[in-house]
Amino acid sequence: TWCGPCIAEMPSIQKLYDKFKDKEDIAFVILEAESNKDKAVKFMTNKKLDLPVYFPTGNIPSEFFRGSLPTTVIFDKNGNVAHITEGMADYSGDDIVDFLNEVRNMK
């Protein structure tokens, strides 16, 4: 709700989510770092985003989050880290779609 790079990348995450939201083998988890539900719901509504937002009840393990906002972590279906991006990224391109499909098809 306040992080400029996070806000800037949200529309591209929404586009990616829209491509995969009906796939049962992919889950999107958007963590709201401040755990302020009212502020987050208002933000998502104002930005016309329908991403699934979750509110952590404890610390996020440092293997996944070292304090950089935004941080994106992609896990494979076995729970292993397939990719981490620290900082803003554009998730609307075919490269991330191809990567997610590759991760989905791994054995």
The tens digit of pLDDT for each residue in 11-46 reads 999 999 999 999 999 999 999 988 889 999 999 999
* 5-14, 60-69, 79-88: least confident range: 60-69
Q: What percent of the chain has pLDDT over 90?
A: 84
Name the 3-class secondary structure at 8: helix
* Domain assignment of residue 69, given as a range: 4-105
The per-residue pLDDT for 4 is 94
Provide the CATH number for the domain around residue 87. Answer: 3.40.30.10
* pLDDT score of 42: 95
In percent, the amount of the chain with pLDDT more than 70 equals 100
Extract the tokens encoding 104: 């989905």
Number of domains within the chain? 1
Answer yes or no: is pLDDT of 53 > 90: yes
Q: Which residues contact 88 (CB under 8 A, 6 or more apart)?
A: 5, 6, 8, 9, 70
CB 73 within 8 A of CB 64: yes
pTM: 0.91
Q: What is the pLDDT of residue 106?
A: 86
Q: What is the DSSP string of 19-75?
A: HHTT-TT----EE-TT--HHHHHHHHHHTT----EE--SSPPPTTT-SS-SSEEEEE
